[in-house]
Amino acid sequence: MAKYLNETSRTFSEFLLIPGLTTKDCVPPKVSLKTPLTKYAKGQTPDIELNVPFVSAIMQSVSNDGMAIALAKNGGVSFVFGSQTIQDQAEMIRKVKNHKSGFVISTANLTQEHTLRDVIALKAKTGHSTIAITDDGTAEGKLLGIVTSRDYRVGTDSHDKKVKEFMTPFSKLVTAQLGCTLKEANDLIWEHKLNSLPVIDEEARFRFFVFRKDYDNHKDNPYELTDKQKKLVVGAGINTRDYKERVPALVEAGADILCIDSSDGFSEWQRDTLQYIKQEFGDKVKVGAGNVVDKEGFLYLVESGADFIKVGVGGGSICITRETKGIGRGQATALIEVAEARDKYFEETGIYVPICSDGGIAQDYHMVLALAMGADFLMMGRYFARFDESPTRKLLVNGNYVKEYWGEGSNRARNWERYDMGDTDGLKFEEGVDSYVPYAGTLKDNLAITLGKIKSTMCSCGTLSIKELKDNARITLVSSVSIVEGGAHDVIVKE
């Protein structure tokens, strides 16, 4: 006879946190949101820690190189989507690892034989007013000069005028040598009152621009997450089919952490993938696995070698796995059980395996609830899809700006590798939808507001770290009537 669990599958919206004593020391600027990303032994520190407890979802519509750069600059990690060719995914990883904060590879370059007309057209196309002039018109050619909007007058100068007649030539440029630090570049910018500084190599080949405004931005990123070489940390999604080719390519490209991407990860295919990675690369390559929704799934993947475990089946905003396959569990119920299993495993073995709550965060307050229920960090798709940095189009629909957002299990993504079922034919049904989400602006601005709310809630609970929150939070179940009480009620709200 089937086993019937005497439980109700619960979601985040069914819970609230009860405030604890807030001492005068307990203020948002003192709250630390540092959290482990990979497993560690008692008394040691994890090899990778996040500065904010967020990772972006392994999805075409969320995590490309642009999102990865933006999120790492703000303290989290993106898992670049794996539903693309191995070469394309490795190239995205390379772009993130080669990104040097403040050192910008120019996308607006011309030769000195081009004309003012070309300059105006390139500026309109790229939005960049500083153009590098190189011998072959590429971003790696020999630097011959630069053109900025101070070098020409659109209304007066002939548009046929050659670039060489009005550019600032190399002989008059202040340049920096490749290998200089951002601080050194910035000192030159200040000393010579520049807006941009070209960086060249020993053969005078153009490599980067450093802009005055970017240095200021860089100083504004106190949470930036970098590796030992000061390169941004980046993750990559993998599957249980082509891992023998994909994993070495991603490792070669510099991925700091991998994660097997599947809606149901309690499988022998995940075990084989984990064992292969650990046998081939030892502990050098970190890899998360999932998704699971119970203690058994958690222990199975931990014993197979996973460095973190992802929790959640069917809770994602674009996910219809529960409707399609009839599998899943309320996200809060799943998380609470897996968190208990993680703590017990830690007590028994001295090994702490972080867990990630994946999907179903619909409100900012759900984030702090998930952390209080035991999540070490959260994976989110919808949240990040709304920002400028997500890879999708921004459109005007019914007078409102929206961004596109589609599931990895949708027909649009065609990511059939997510099914951990070997090379079985016929597993080509949809378990995700194609949708819009309201456009919300930049990642940095939105994250600042979200983190402010989380820190404020943590202070209300009298806690200054995620660990303290987990240990001390008091969580209550709410009735549907008290949910009504929680919003504005019995008043006429002014427009």
Give me the active site residues, please.
Answer: 319, 418
| CB-neighbour burial class of residue 264 (10 A; exposed 0-12, middle 13-18, buried 19+) | buried
The reply on whether position 255 binds ligand RVP by CB under 6 A is: no
Using DSSP's 3-state secondary structure scheme, residue 339 falls into: helix
Residue type for position 368: V
Q: How far apart are CA 64 and CA 81, in angstroms?
A: 7
# of chain residues touching ligand RVP (CB under 6 A): 22
For residue 384, which phi and psi values (nearest 5 degrees)? Answer: -80, -30
**Contact track, ligand RVP, 398-437, x by CB under 6 A:** ---------xxxx--------------------xx-----
In whole angstroms, give the CA distance from residue 64 to residue 60: 7
Nearer to ligand RVP, 307 or 408 (CB): 408
Q: Shortest distance, CB of residue 334 to ligand RVP, whole angstroms?
A: 12
Rule CB under 6 A: is residue 317 a binding residue for ligand RVP?
yes
Binding mask 274-313 for ligand RVP (x = CB under 6 A): ----------------------------------------
Helix/strand number for the chain, H first, E second? 16, 24
The H or E element containing residue 78 is: strand 77-80
- Residue 318 interacting with ligand RVP (CB under 6 A): yes
Binding residues for K(+): 314, 316, 319
Residue nearest to ligand RVP (CB): 432
Dihedral, 65, 67, 70, 72 alpha carbons, nearest 10? -80
Parallel, antiparallel, or unpaired: how do β-strands 235-238 and 377-380 relate? unpaired
Q: Give the contact letters, 21-60, x = binds to ligand RVP (CB under 6 A), - = no.
A: ------------------------------------x-x-
Locate 264 and state its tokens: 């149901």
Q: Which one of 128-136, 191-199, 269-277, 374-382 is the stretch in contact with ligand RVP (CB under 6 A)?
A: 374-382
Instruction: Give the residue with the Cβ less far from ligand RVP, 66 or 360.
Output: 360
Helix, strand, coil abundance in the chain, percent, nearest 5:
35, 20, 45
254 binds ligand RVP, rule: CB under 6 A: no
Q: Does residue 361 interact with ligand RVP by CB under 6 A?
A: yes
Phi, psi of 232 (to 5 degrees): -60, 145
H or E segment to which residue 471 belongs: helix 466-472
Q: Which of 38, 321, 333, 446 binds ligand RVP (CB under 6 A)?
A: 321
Binding site for ligand RVP (CB under 6 A): 57, 59, 316-319, 321, 358-361, 379-383, 407-410, 431-432
